[in-house]
Amino acid sequence: MPWIDAIAADDVEEEDVIRWDHDDKTYVIIRSPDDEFFCTAGLCTHEHVHLSDGMVMDHEIECPRHNGIFDYRTGKALRAPACEHLSTYETKKEGDRVFVNVP
Amino acid sequence: MSDAAQPHSEISSTRDYSLTGASSRQAEEVGLAAAEWYHSDVPRKTMKAMMKRRDGPALRDTAIWIALHILFAAGGIYFWGSWIAVPFWLAYGVMYGSASDSRWHECGHGTPFRTRWMNDVVYHIASFQLIRNPVNWRWSHARHHTDTLIVGRDPEIAWMHPINLFLKALAFVGFVDTWASFKTLARNSLGMLSDDEKIYIPETEWPKAAFWARVHLALFALTALAVLLMLANGMGWKSAIPILLIGGPRVYGCWHMVLTALLQHGGLPEDVTDHRLNSRTLYMNPISRWIYWNMNYHIEHHMFPMVPYYALPALHDEIKHDLPAPNTSIWDGYKEMMGAVMKQRRDPSHAVRKTLPPTAKPYNEFLHKHVPDRSDAG
């Protein structure tokens, strides 16, 4: 799977999220409070709402419409109405760029 | 402040509010189901600050709420047999039967406490107080947020046409709702879900719905047993105390919940995709706001359900330039709502349409011309 140059590290603040669209698919890239980068599917598994408008708190991301919560490190759904897990993708930081390994 | 809305379509007085009927199919066909809704612009940095969760405010308010339960119940029991007990029971009823609704609502969203289990504990306690199956209502409320006041999609529409004012008045004492709630719990406890419940509750959650219905019924059975034991021990009228404490306040203390809940969407249009059109923000006295946990900022809550109750006043200040002017009081809200409701009894297509300030973006109405004609529905 190819590594894609996705965003500049400074595009997203610590403990925040940014939308990233690639190849007709939508993702979110999350910068954790400890300055690590993570990438998950961009839509909530409950009703396909964009998670980029949601909230990052510690290692969780919360859907903006129904407050479903996921662990963005593993994609695990933690709180209803989110029941299905999120897909996650590898990331790496090189210089000031963040790369994502997408299918 | 407002003028009458032009009807979006010819809508008959009979509509199909079930989630399995013609209105549901029509809503899906025209794109009203799970539609994109209007949101006021709020800078990400500002929104992040407002969404921030803290345990402090909710712990403080929950501690006060619990303390008031204890204080009023103790007063009611201590002064039993004297008229002085009455105001204590009335106040206890409001804590139990009304303030619980906003705690249920907010903790269902998971927003008041930063610590998740605290939201869950208060959610379950408040669900029990309100005789609501905590599973069913979590999912029905999610649907209410997806499809607010979309006929055939929203299971929580309070004002259904044709409007029965007698039943609405009766709701201020909760006999009918309480009876209906017990019937639902009994049905759920047997593992039976209604057709509508099966629509909005995923199958994986059905066993949980049955489990919690059984837990609630068992607790109510214990309450009834306590009454019987007290009667058997010759305690007379004092035997009513367990019911005044548990279950009963859903009847005699729900009036404030109904008073505020009816205002949320009453008299406003169905089948629109802009919460500024179908939800009502109003100012109210600080006691009601505390009981209601700031849900008087109802447009703001629907637009941004991630914002906890204690940040809603700040959110209101941030976006009020984009919202219709709030009603100035509960009384002002009722004047507006009841004026519209009385017209809706003759013409169900009537609805309040509030004027936006010049600083606001226009209403999001591109879908509304497609709202289905329901003249044959029902």
Read out DSSP for B338-370? HHHHHHHHH-TT--EEEPPPTTSPPP--TTGGG
What pLDDT score does A2 carry? Answer: 86
What pLDDT score does B375 carry? Answer: 41
B366 confidence band (pLDDT: 50, 70, 90)? low
Dig out the tokens for B175 from the structure. 């006999």
A25-76 pLDDT tens trace: 999 999 999 999 999 999 999 989 999 999 999 999 999 999 999 999 999 9
Q: Do B306 and A66 touch (CB under 8 A)?
A: no
Q: Which residues of B touch A64 (CB under 8 A)?
A: 304-306
Is A85 in CB contact (< 8 Å) with chain B?
A: no
The answer to the question of residue B229 being in a domain is: yes
B6-34 in b/e form (b: 16+ CB < 10 A) is eebeebebebbbbbebbbbebbeebebbb
Distance CA A32, CA B90 (A): 49
Q: Which residues of A touch B44 (CB under 8 A)?
A: 16
What pLDDT score does B105 carry? Answer: 98
Dig out the tokens for A20 from the structure. 């990233």
- The mean predicted confidence, pLDDT, of chain B is 93
Quote the percentage of chain B above a pLDDT of 70: 93
Distance CA A12, CA B181 (A): 47
Quote the percentage of chain B above a pLDDT of 90: 88
Beta bridge pairs of residue A3: A101
Q: Searching chain A, which residue's CA lies closest to the CA of residue B301?
A: A65
Distance CA B268, CA B229 (A): 49
Distance CA A61, CA A47 (A): 15
Q: Do A80 and B138 touch (CB under 8 A)?
A: yes
Q: Provide residues of B within 8 Å CB-CB of chain A.
A: 34, 44, 48, 51, 53, 109-111, 114, 116, 138-139, 142, 145-146, 202, 204-205, 304-306
Q: Are A20 and A99 in contact (CB under 8 A)?
A: no
Fold adopted by A3-101? Rieske Iron-sulfur Protein (2.102.10)
The answer to the question of residue B378 being in a domain is: no
Interface test with B, best of A18, A67, A78 (most B CBs within 10 A): A67
Q: Which of B71, B118, B137, B126 is nearest to B97 (CA)?
A: B126
Orientation angle between helical segments B116-129 and B100-109, nearest 10 degrees: 140
Distance CA B37, CA B79 (A): 53
Which of B204, B304, B305 is nearest residue A83 as measured by Cβ atoms? Answer: B204
- Its sign, for the CA torsion B210, B213, B218, B219, is positive
**C-alpha count within 13 angstroms, C-beta hemisphere, residue B343:** 17
Distance CA B93, CA B155 (A): 27
Average pLDDT over residues B7-21: 66
Average pLDDT over residues B258-278: 97
Is A46 in CB contact (< 8 Å) with chain B?
A: yes
What pLDDT score does B1 carry? Answer: 39
Which of A66, A78, A79 is nearest residue B145 as measured by Cβ atoms? Answer: A66
Q: Searching chain A, which residue's CA lies closest to the CA of residue B111?
A: A67
B139-198 pLDDT tens trace: 999 999 999 999 999 999 999 999 999 999 999 999 999 999 999 999 999 999 999 999
Q: What angle do CA B129, B142, B196 make, to 5 degrees?
A: 85
Q: Which residues of A touch B143 (CB under 8 A)?
A: none
B371 confidence band (pLDDT: 50, 70, 90)? low
The answer to the question of residue B253 being in a domain is: yes
The answer to the question of residue B300 being in a domain is: yes
Q: Do A55 and B48 touch (CB under 8 A)?
A: yes
What pLDDT score does A1 carry? Answer: 67
Burial (0-12, 13-18, 19+ Cβ within 10 Å), B256 = buried
Q: Searching chain A, which residue's CA lies closest to the CA of residue B307?
A: A64
Distance CA B222, CA B218 (A): 6
Average pLDDT over residues B106-135: 97
Helices (H), B246-329: 249-252, 255-261, 275-278, 286-292, 298-303, 312-319
Q: Searching chain A, which residue's CA lies closest to the CA of residue B41?
A: A53
B140-165 in b/e form (b: 16+ CB < 10 A) is bbbbbbbbbbbbbbbbbbebebebee
Q: What angle do CA B259, B341, B312 make, to 5 degrees?
A: 45
B51-100 pLDDT tens trace: 999 999 999 999 999 999 999 999 999 999 999 999 999 999 999 999 99
Q: Which residues of A touch B142 (CB under 8 A)?
A: 46, 66, 81
B367 confidence band (pLDDT: 50, 70, 90)? low
Higher pLDDT, B284 or B348: B284
The answer to the question of residue B228 being in a domain is: yes
Q: Which residues of B touch A80 (CB under 8 A)?
A: 138-139, 205
Distance CA B50, CA A80 (A): 22
Q: Do B146 and A47 touch (CB under 8 A)?
A: yes
What pLDDT score does B10 carry? Answer: 42
Q: Are A9 and A96 in contact (CB under 8 A)?
A: yes
- State ipTM: 0.88
Scan for tokens 């049955």, then name that residue.
Answer: B210
What pLDDT score does B378 carry? Answer: 32
What pLDDT score does B376 carry? Answer: 38
Tell me how close the Cα of A34 comes to any Cα of chain B, in angstroms.
18
**Number of independent structural domains in chain B:** 1
pLDDT at A4 over 50: yes
pLDDT at B4 over 70: no
**C-alpha count within 13 angstroms, C-beta hemisphere, residue B269:** 27
Q: Are B82 and B237 in contact (CB under 8 A)?
A: no
Q: What residue type is assigned to position B106 of the chain?
A: E
3-state SS, residue B281: strand
Distance CA B138, CA B128 (A): 13
What pLDDT score does B9 carry? Answer: 45
What pLDDT score does B369 carry? Answer: 55
Structural domain span for residue B264:
2-369
B186-231 pLDDT tens trace: 999 999 999 999 999 999 999 999 999 999 999 999 999 999 999 9
The answer to the question of residue B224 being in a domain is: yes
B37-52 pLDDT tens trace: 999 999 999 999 999 9
pLDDT at B25 over 50: yes
Average pLDDT over residues B124-137: 98
Distance CA B270, CA B275 (A): 11
Q: Do A54 and B145 touch (CB under 8 A)?
A: no
